[in-house]
Chains A and B, each alone.
Chain A
C-alpha cells in the first residue's frame, strides 16, 4: 500500500478502531480482579531462542529482509515480531483463570472467563448447582454493563447471534448462517422456532433491534458496550435475515458478534421501565430467572422450550462473595459448587480436599510493563530490550504465580489470530542486559515502576520482582511505586501521553481472540491507551491488516 495516500485513512481508522478496542481490554481487566491457573499446559517459554538473539545497537534497519506479508494473519504476525524486537513493553505473562469446583461436577473452564452453566453436568448428588463469583450484577439489562460478573449472570438467560465454544472458536447461536456480502455489510440468517422465555417467537427484527440498541445511542440506551461492536454502525432486516453494516471492511465483525451483543425482545424491552429491565430477564437462553434479589442471589430453572440441548441441571443459583478465602471456604464446606478466582495461595486448600478440585485455563489477559516511548531512558529500544533481558520470567511465574501463567514475548497470546509462533519470550541474560544499557547511553538510570494494587493477580508482587531483578543490573536502579488503580487508569486513559506514567504495570483482556484488539489500542500511534507511538511499520501493518479479510 503506498504510504502517502493511505496515511490519512490509516491514522483515522486506527484512531477509531484503536479507541473502540480500548474498552474491550480494560473492561477485561476491570471485572473480577485476579485469576490464576495451574499452568498445566503452559509452554516452558525459555528455550534460549528468543527470536532476536540480542543483536544490539540496531533499530530494525539492518535486519534480515523478510518477505512482504500477504494475508491479514501474516500482517499481524509481522507486527508481533516487530514489537518483540522493539520491546515497547517488558513482556510478562498470560494470566490463568482458576476456578475451584466440586468434584461432583463435570465442567471445562472457558478461556474467555465466562461460565455457561449449560455446559455443567452433575455426576453425583442433587442436580442443582451453585456458583459463587466475586460480585453480583450491576443490573440485568444485557446491554447496560461491562463487567464479567454481570456477563456471567446475563449469559445464562440470553443468547448471542453467534457464540464460542470453550476453546474460543466461533459457533452458531441464534444465527444459523452468516456471510460477508461486501465490505462493510454482513448477513445473518436467523434460526427458526426460537422462543423467548415469555413464549413469544424470536423475530429477525429483535436481532436487528438488539444490535442497534448497542451501537446507536438513539435506540433505547447509551450502551457502554457500543465499542464491543467496534466499527458496526447498524442493523436492519432484509428478506428475513439481518444485515449488519460497518464502517470499512471490519474484518473481525463475526468475532465481535461471537463474544458480544445478547439478543433481547424488542417489545418486551420497549414496554418496560429501566428498573424492570434491570431486575428481570426475558431471553432465549437455556435458563430462565425464577428469583432475583439484587446484590444477594439469582436463581434460574431450565427453560423447557430452549432451542438447543437442554441443560443437565435443574436449578442454578449464582451468588457472590468478594473475599476469595470466603469463596474457597464455601466450596470446601459444600455450600457452593463452583467458585471463581482462586488465588495461588488458596489452590492447595482446594486441591487437598477430596470433594473439590481446581480447574484452570489460560485466560485472554496479558500482563505487561509499558514504557513510554517519548521519555528517557525508555525512548531507547536498547534500554527497553535490556529490561526484558533482565527479567527471569520463569522464576516469577513459578514463585509468585505458582506456575499459573504462561510467559510471553509478544502482546498477542497463543491461540489468537495473529499470534507469531516464531517469537519466544526473552530469556534472562544479565550480561546482555547490562551491555544493552551501556549501548543505550543510559547507564546509571534510575527508574520507577508504577503498579496498581490488587487489580490483577499478585500485581504488586510481580512488580516488586521485576523491579528487584532490574535493580540487580549493575547500571540501572529501579523501585516500585504502588498506585491506586483508579488514578493510574485515569492517567493511562486520559488520551494525552503527557499524562501517562513513564513505566507502569497493566493487564489487558481481549476476548475477541484477535491480535488487532490488543495492538491497535495499546501499541499504535493513535491507540487510545498507547505508550508507543513512534513505529510507522507497526502502524502500517495494523492499518493494512484491518483492510484485509481474515478475522476470526
Chain B
C-alpha cells in the first residue's frame, strides 16, 4: 500500500516534470534567434505570403493560444507537422526512437559487462597491478571525449583493419526478430532462423563501435562505483562475520558484498540510461546512427521546430519514465525509502 502511494506520488511528480519540459521546450522557440518563417518561406516571399505561412503554422496567434493549441495537440499525440518535410512530426520522431534506445541499451550492456567484473577485481586486489590497471582505465575512460573516441575507433578498426563498418544501421534489433514471427495471409509463416541470425549479426556488427563509444564513459563510471562500493562492503562487520564463519572468499565477495554493492549501481544504471538516451547526440552524428540525436541536430540546423520540440519532449519523457521505474525498483529493493 505504501509502495502504491509512493509510486502515485512519483507519477504525479513525473507528470509535472513532463509538463515543465513541454513548456520549456515550447518557450525555447521564442527565445531562440531566427524566425521559423524565414526558413520556411522562399527568401523573396512577400509580406502577404509570409503572413499566410505564419498563419498556416499557427505562428500568428498570441503566445498563450499557441501554447494551449500545442499542449492540446500533444495530449492527442499530435506534435504538429515538420516545417521542412510537411509530414507529421510524431511519425518522424517516433521512427527514430528504436535506434536511440537500442544504442543506449547496448552501451549500458557494454558498460555492465565490462565494469562490474573490473570493479570487483579492482576492489578485491587493492593496490595490486590489476587495481592500478582498472583505475587507470576508468580515469582514461572518464576523460576521453566521445567524438574523439568514435573517430579513432572508426579510423583504426574500420578504415585501417576493416573489422567493423564505419557507420549506419541497416537493420534494427526488432526487425531482426521479425524473421522469427512472420505472418503471411493471416497465418504464422515458418520461422526464418537463418535470416534472423544474419539480421542479428548485421545489427551487432554495426552497433558495436557506437555502443563502445557511448558506453566508455559509463563503463569507467560504473567501474569506479563498483570498486568503491565493494571496498566499503568488504569492510563491513557482516563480511568479517562471514569470514569468521569460514565461508569461501568468492562466496563472500560475489554473493554477499557484490549484491549489496549492486543496489546503488542499479539506481545509477537507470539514471544513466536516461542520460544516454539524451546524450547520444554526438555518437549518433559520428556514426550516422539514425536516432533522436541526429534528428535534433538536423532539425536545429533548419529550425524545424516541431521536430526539435517533439524530439526533446520524447527524450524528456523517456528520462522521467526511466526515473520512475528506477525509483520503483529501488523502493522494491530497499523498502525503507518508501517511508
Contacts and interface: CB of A to CB of B under 8 A. Distances in A.
Most buried by B among A135, A275, A295, A528: A295
Interface in A7-33: 19-23, 26-27
B297 A322 contact: yes
Interface residues of B, number: 38
A541 to B, nearest CB: 21
B159 A333 contact: yes
B43 A22 contact: yes
Contacts of A294: 92, 95
A332 B38 contact: no
10 contacts: A26-B43, A227-B43, A278-B85, A294-B92, A329-B154, A329-B167, A333-B165, A333-B166, A484-B33, A489-B38
A493 interface: yes
Contacts of A334: 162
Interface stretch (B106-114, B181-189, B282-290, B311-319): B282-290
A326 B44 CA distance: 35
A550 interface: no
Contact of A138 (B38, B84, B159): B84
B42 A323 contact: no
A332 B44 contact: no
A219 interface: no
A22 B38 contact: no
Given A329-B154, A329-B155, A484-B34, A144 B42 contact: no
Contacts of A138: 84-85
Contacts of B34: 484, 486-487, 489-490
Nearest to B33: A487
Given A275-B87, A321-B288, A326 B33 contact: no
Given A144-B86, A332-B159, A326 B166 contact: yes
Contacts of B165: 333, 335
Contact of B44 (A20, A135, A144, A335): A20
Interface of A: 19-23, 26-27, 135, 138-139, 144, 146, 224, 226-227, 274-275, 278, 294-296, 319-323, 325-326, 329-330, 332-335, 484, 486-487, 489-490, 493, 495, 521, 528-529
Interface of B: 33-35, 38-39, 42-44, 46-47, 84-87, 92, 95-96, 151, 154-155, 158-159, 162, 165-169, 285-288, 290, 294-295, 297-298, 303
Contact of A326 (B39, B43, B85, B286): B286
CB-based closest 10 A-B pairs: A486-B34, A487-B33, A19-B44, A321-B288, A23-B43, A22-B44, A329-B166, A23-B42, A490-B38, A22-B43
A32 to B, nearest CB: 11
A341 to B, nearest CB: 14
Contacts of B46: 19
Contacts, number: 103
Contacts of B294: 322
Nearest to A336: B166
Contact of A529 (B43, B96, B285): B43
A295 B34 CA distance: 25
B160 to A, nearest CB: 9
Contacts of B290: 295-296
Contacts of A326: 154, 166-167, 285-288
Given A23-B43, A139-B86, A486-B38, A323 B33 contact: no
A321 B150 CA distance: 14
A511 to B, nearest CB: 15
A487 B32 CA distance: 9
Contacts of A226: 42
A224 B303 CA distance: 17
A278 B288 contact: no
A402 B316 CA distance: 43
Contacts of A332: 159
Nearest to A484: B33
B307 to A, nearest CB: 11
Given A329-B158, A490-B38, A139 B87 contact: yes
Contacts of A493: 38, 43
Contacts of A321: 167, 288
A529 B294 CA distance: 32
Contacts of A26: 43
Most buried by B among A146, A224, A333, A334: A333
A493 B37 CA distance: 11
Contacts of B154: 325-326, 329
Nearest to A19: B44
Nearest to B167: A326
A323 B85 contact: no
Contacts of A320: 288
A227 B45 CA distance: 9
A226 B39 CA distance: 16
A529 B44 CA distance: 9
A27 B44 CA distance: 11
A323 B285 contact: yes
Contacts of B96: 295
B86 A278 contact: yes
Contacts of B168: 319, 335
A27 B41 CA distance: 11
Given A278-B85, A322-B297, 17 more contacts: A21-B44, A23-B43, A139-B85, A146-B42, A274-B86, A278-B86, A295-B96, A319-B288, A322-B285, A326-B286, A329-B154, A329-B155, A335-B165, A335-B166, A489-B38, A490-B34, A493-B43
Contacts of A224: 42
A333 B288 contact: no
A348 to B, nearest CB: 14
Contacts of B85: 138-139, 278
Most buried by A among B35, B85, B92, B95: B85
Given A322-B285, A326-B287, A490-B33, A528 B167 contact: no
A19 B290 CA distance: 37
Contacts of A319: 168, 288
Contacts of B166: 326, 329-330, 333, 335
Contacts of A20: 44
A23 to B, nearest CB: 4
B44 A528 contact: yes
Contacts of A21: 44
Nearest to A141: B86
Contacts of A275: 87
Contacts of B285: 322-323, 326
A280 B180 CA distance: 29
A453 to B, nearest CB: 12
A521 B44 CA distance: 9
Nearest to B158: A333
Nearest to B295: A295
B50 to A, nearest CB: 9
Contacts of A23: 42-44
Contacts of B33: 484, 486-487, 490
B247 to A, nearest CB: 53
Nearest to A144: B86
A77 B38 CA distance: 33
A536 to B, nearest CB: 23
